[in-house]
Amino acid sequence: MRRIQIRRELCDGCMKCTAACAAEYDQTGGQTMEGMDSAEEQSESRISILPDANGHFTPIFCRQCDEPACAQACISGAMAKNPLSGRVTYDADCCAACFMCVLACPFGVLRPDQSTHSVIVKCDLCNRREIPRCVESCPKGALLVIEVNV
Q: How far apart are CA 6 and CA 104, in angstroms?
A: 22
Confidence at residue 31, expressed as pLDDT on a 0 to 100 scale: 45
Identity (one letter) of the amino acid at 25? Y
Do residues 23 and 36 touch, judged by C-beta distance below 8 A? yes
Instruction: State the amino acid at position 34 in one-letter form.
Output: E
The per-type count for the chain, helices as H runs and strands as E runs, is 4, 8
Domains of the chain are 1-61+126-150 (3.30.70.20), 66-122 (3.30.70.20)
Number of neighbouring beta carbons within 10 Å of residue 90: 22
| Other C-beta atoms lying within 10 Å of the C-beta of residue 142 | 23
Distance of alpha carbon 1 from alpha carbon 39, whole angstroms: 32
Q: Is the pLDDT at 144 greater than 80, yes or no?
A: yes
The per-residue pLDDT for range 23-56, each reduced to its tens digit, is 998 866 544 444 444 344 457 899 999 998 988 9
User: Does the structure show a pLDDT above 60 at 62?
Assistant: yes
Q: What is the pLDDT of residues 100-135, one digit of tens each?
A: 999 999 999 999 999 899 999 999 999 889 999 999
pTM: 0.81
Paired strand residues for 89: 80
What average pLDDT score do residues 45-71 get? 93
